[in-house]
Amino acid sequence: MGMASGQIKIGIRTIWDIPKEEYFGPGQLTCAGCGPSLAVRHILKAAGPDVIVVNATGCIEVTSTQYPYTAWGVPYIHVAFENAAAVASGIEAAIKALNRKGIANAKAKVIALAGDGGTYDIGMQALSGMLERGHGVLYVLYDNEAYMNTGIQRSGGTPRFAWTTTSPVGSRIRGKVQSKKDIMSIVIAHHIPYAATASIAYPIDLMNKVRKALDALNEGPAFLHVFAPCPPGWRIDDSKTVEIARLAVETGVFPLFEWDHGKFRLNPPSNMHVDKSKRKPLINYLKPQGRFAHLKEEEIKAMEAEVDGYWDYLTRLLKAFG
């Protein structure tokens, strides 16, 4: 199985290979400069029209489905916050059963889409169940690092020291106390065929990963962790969404990598960042963001140590599974 999916396919190589078709928006109610909105646009361009999207409650759900309007150009269902993976499992199983009984001949792929709240916290149990049962579903996590549409509450995906309305900044508490949950390691521990991180600042990499993940679905589940900044929640200018996402990769805060059939691989430009001197200084990423405006020098050092620690972990993964 591993060899078959390792075949070289012609993917998206340049910006001109990106399909012109739009399957999301315009007219959706996402804020100006929304990172997740851009992520969904890119994902659907790569996936094409033959998909069914299952959406958890979250920013994208409330902004794209304001009754009587929908921003979706593909079949779409929303049920609840916690069960996007469970609903997606059911749809995948139903398609299989209908095909087997000769009632349908459907080739539609199922994409579950949830934010960091719907994945790290509320949807974790459904996600783990889906991965364990081995449903051929692509689960996409768009990570804007807090519950944004309800008013910026911290989630398991919020990084340490980040200001949110439920991790306020004072003299004793300095933003979020805990560190960001390592969701990729949790997902990889389910031994699924394909899992990857991607960023809206690197759309060609993101779209190729979507296609790779969809190709792997006949073997089992696939998972994509997409980094998508939120201007109101991160206290950045609307025009800086993509710039901040790029800086997150360049400073090593959000490394691009993939777990492909038991092999671990760092993707450009993160493949150069094992060497710390090739990463941009962390301050470049922190300074433009209001949610980190309170950080003192020793707190920036502590954050840097955390980033270095994660890179140390990735380097060991690379040695073991590269």
Least separation in angstroms between CB 320 and another protein = 36
Q: Which amino acid is at 31?
A: C
Between 3 and 15, whose beta carbon lies closer to another protein? 15
Between 34 and 110, whose beta carbon lies closer to another protein? 34
66 touches another protein (CB under 8 A)? yes
208 touches another protein (CB under 8 A)? no
243 touches another protein (CB under 8 A)? yes
The rounded distance, in Å, linking the Cα atoms of 181 and 124 is 12
Q: How far is CA 64 from CA 55, 81, 153, 227, in A?
A: 10, 15, 21, 19
* Paired sense of beta strands 222-227 and 137-143, if any: parallel
Between 70 and 218, whose beta carbon lies closer to another protein? 70
Between 70 and 125, whose beta carbon lies closer to another protein? 70
Between 113 and 200, whose beta carbon lies closer to another protein? 200
Between 131 and 226, whose beta carbon lies closer to another protein? 226
* Paired sense of beta strands 222-227 and 194-199, if any: parallel
Q: Which long-range contacts (CB under 8 A, 24 or more apart) does 272-277 make?
A: 273/311, 274/311, 274/314, 274/315, 274/318, 276/252, 276/308, 276/311
Q: Which of 7, 16, 101, 320 binds another protein (CB under 8 A)?
A: 16
Q: Report residue 247 as tokens.
A: 């800086």
Residue 305 CB-density burial (10 A; 0-12 exposed, 13-18 middle, 19+ buried) = exposed
Contact 142, 285 (CB under 8 A): no
Least separation in angstroms between CB 157 and another protein = 20
Q: Report residue 205 as tokens.
A: 């990499």
Q: Which of 48, 62, 65, 235 binds another protein (CB under 8 A)?
A: 65
Between 192 and 249, whose beta carbon lies closer to another protein? 249
Contact 236, 289 (CB under 8 A): yes
Residues of this chain, 142-201, that bind another protein according to CB under 8 A: 200
The terminus-to-terminus CA distance of the chain in angstroms comes to 19
DSSP 12: -
35 touches another protein (CB under 8 A)? yes
Least separation in angstroms between CB 227 and another protein = 14
Q: Which of 43, 46, 52, 64 binds another protein (CB under 8 A)?
A: 64
Total residue count of the chain as it appears in this document: 322
210 touches another protein (CB under 8 A)? no
13 touches another protein (CB under 8 A)? no
234 touches another protein (CB under 8 A)? no
108 touches another protein (CB under 8 A)? no
Among 210, 86, 190, which residue's Cα sits nearest to residue 131? Answer: 190
21 touches another protein (CB under 8 A)? no
Binding site for another protein (CB under 8 A): 15-16, 18, 20, 22-35, 37-38, 41, 64-74, 200, 203, 231, 237-243
